Structures are given as C-alpha cells and as structure tokens.
Amino acid sequence: MAEGGTAVRGAVPHPVVYTLTEVGNLLAVCAPALCVGVAAFLLAARSALPRWLRVFSVVAGVCGVLAPFYFTYMLFVLWTVVAGVTLVVAGRRAPAPVHVETAPSRA
C-alpha cells in the first residue's frame, strides 16, 4: 500500500486501492499506446516509408491497440525506437529544397 501510506491502510480496503492503481496504469500507459498505435496504422497507410517499416508499423499498431494485454507492449516500444531513429536518419539524408529564382514580371 505504498500509494497512500498508513492513512489508506486502515480506511480503504486493499481491493479498492489495487483497482484504482490498475485503472491509473491503464490510463497512463495504454491510452497513449492506443493513440500512437492508430497513428502507426495511418503512417503505414499514407506515408512513403520503406516496405519493411510499413509492415513493422502495422504490426506495432496492432500491438499498441492491444497494449492492455501487456505482452504486446514491448514490441510496440521497440517500434517507437526503430521508427524514430529511422525517420530522424532519413530526415538528415533528405536533400535540401532547391531555391529557384524567377525573373521579375513585367507589368
């Protein structure tokens, strides 16, 4: 009962504290995983990623949506690291936009 200390130990039954702790964990971990999992689906469907990263994004999206089952969460976290590093490295390699000067118009 580390959440509330001695004040909680006597007044609130242990199952209530446990339930509230589990609800807090689900809100803190699984809700963001659900949102990012849906974003992974969209990224895989609508962006120009390498094929392996699109397939990995779909799998990670499923794992993010299923994050409350815990065993899928680690693969989801692995995808966030791999996709983040891949996108940062690809962003550094992207050529800078070419500035094209146009002739002034004669009006």
What was the pLDDT predicted at 81?
Answer: 92
The full 3-state SS of the chain, as one line of letters, equals CCCCCHHHHHHCCHHHHHHHHHHHHHHHHHHHHHHHHHHHHHHHHHCCCCHHHHHHHHHHHHHHHCHHHCCCHHHHHHHHHHHHHHHHHHHHHCCCCCCCCCCCCCC
Q: Is the pLDDT of residue 1 over 50?
A: no
Q: What is the pLDDT of residues 25-74, one digit of tens each?
A: 888 888 888 888 898 889 888 888 888 888 988 998 888 888 888 788 88
